[in-house]
Each structure stands twice: as C-alpha cells, then as structure tokens.
C-alpha cells in the first residue's frame, strides 16, 4: 500500500466517525499545548496560526477567542465542514501529503495529534512544506503519541510512533531549532504519559 492509499484509508475512518470524534474530544483540555505554542512566538500579537489537522474546530475557536487569526487545515472534508461551522474560521481541505500553503504566512503552526499519521518516508517533505509556510522566526508545535520508532496500522488508522531523539532528527533536518519538549498528561509518571509534545523555531536567517 502506497502513502496516498494509507492516507485515504486513515482519513476515511475520520470521515465515517466525525460526529463521534467531535463529541469525544470537544472537552479535551489542551491549554498546555496552546500556551506552549503562543508563548514561544516572538512576533507582535495578534498571530496568524495554522491549525494543522484541525478536526472539527475546537482549537481554532480557542485561538480566535484569544484574539488571533486562525486558519484550519484538515484532510477530512467532513471535519473541514464542521470546523468552518463551529469556529467561523477559514479551513483548508488538504491532505498532509499534498500541502499547498503560501510561503512565510504563519507565525505559528499547531500540529496537535496530527503529524503522527504521516508515514515516516513522507515526513521530510511534509516538514519542509511546513517550514516554508512559517515566517522567519515562526514556531511549530507538535504533539504525537510517543513510541519506539515503529509505524503501522492501529485499527483503521496509520501511525508513526517516534521517540524524542528520532523526532528531533526529523525536525532538525527540516531546518527547525528545538525550543522545548515535554510529556503529557502533566504530573503523571512517564509510563502514564503517552504524548510527546515539542516546540520548534524556524531560524530568522
């Protein structure tokens, strides 16, 4: 199965379960992640933020309520529809493997629980597109399920499960500088923290 087939199959799961996903995630508290992104941006506020894999629009609404210009992007047409309706924001319907983004447009990119769906063979190209879409000095936040660098199917969804060292190699190769990383949920023993969150800057020059 090639990467496009993997992406289509994963997105089909979200298309078919969009309403249940919205109901199950609308109350998730990701304020720690939002704060990590916004706190690292050094440009004058308000910021232009890309919510990469925005789903039904929960975090788009939060960014907007905080006074920023938020633009969503999702590969699921159903999620894109829901996000527009819920947040009132512009939402792009694009597959991560075929991004078409303006260069140097965004102060920040919020990739919360989304980039792990990218097959590792495609990740360098995806990260290069995101790097290009950030303004110089812009910040990318990512949160992914951590693992031992294996990838494959988890039921109907494909995932790549990197540890920090591997993720840092991918990000550094794409031209990003590390700022911070942490594990979630906060305050639990490491074995009970399945999420690896990290913050990265595009150098100014």
Query: How far is Cα 103 from Cα 129, in angstroms, rounded to an integer?
Result: 9
Nearest C-alpha neighbor of 176 from the set 146, 143, 115, 132: 132
Tell me the domains of the chain and their CATH numbers: 3-201 (3.40.50.150)
pLDDT of residue 182: 97
CB count, 10 Å around CB of 177? 11
pLDDT at 57: 96
Determine the pLDDT at residue 191.
92
Sequence-separated (6 or more) residues with CB below 8 Å from residue 97:
3, 4, 7, 118, 122, 125, 126
| pLDDT at residue 26, rounded to an integer | 84
Torsion, Cα of 72, 200, 181, 196 (10° steps): 40
One digit per residue, the tens of pLDDT, for the chain of length 205 reads: 899 999 999 999 999 999 888 888 988 999 999 999 999 999 999 999 999 999 999 999 999 999 999 999 999 999 999 999 999 999 999 999 999 999 999 999 999 999 999 999 999 999 999 999 999 999 999 999 999 999 999 999 999 999 999 999 999 999 999 999 999 999 999 999 999 999 999 999 7
What pTM was computed for the model?
A: 0.96
């Amino acid at each position: 199965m090639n990467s496009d087939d993997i992406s289509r199959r994963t997105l089909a799961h979200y298309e078919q379960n969009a309403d249940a996903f919205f109901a199950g995630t609308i109350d998730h508290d990701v304020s720690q992640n939002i704060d990590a992104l916004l706190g690292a941006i050094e440009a004058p506020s308000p910021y232009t933020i890309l919510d990469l894999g925005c789903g039904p629009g929960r975090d788009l609404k939060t960014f907007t309520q905080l006074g920023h210009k938020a633009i969503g992007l999702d590969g699921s047409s159903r999620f894109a529809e829901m996000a527009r309706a819920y947040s009132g924001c512009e939402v792009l319907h694009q597959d991560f493997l075929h991004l078409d983004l303006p260069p140097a447009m965004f102060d920040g990119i919020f990739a919360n629980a989304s980039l792990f769906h990218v097959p590792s063979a495609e990740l360098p190209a995806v990260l290069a597109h995101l790097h290009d879409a950030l303004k110089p000095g812009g910040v990318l936040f990512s949160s992914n399920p951590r693992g031992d660098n294996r990838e494959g199917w988890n039921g109907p969804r494909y995932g790549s499960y990197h540890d920090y060292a591997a993720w840092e190699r991918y990000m550094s190769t794409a031209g990003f500088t590390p700022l911070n990383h942490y594990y979630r949920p906060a305050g639990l023993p490491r074995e009970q923290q399945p999420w690896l969150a990290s913050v990265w800057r595009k150098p100014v020059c």
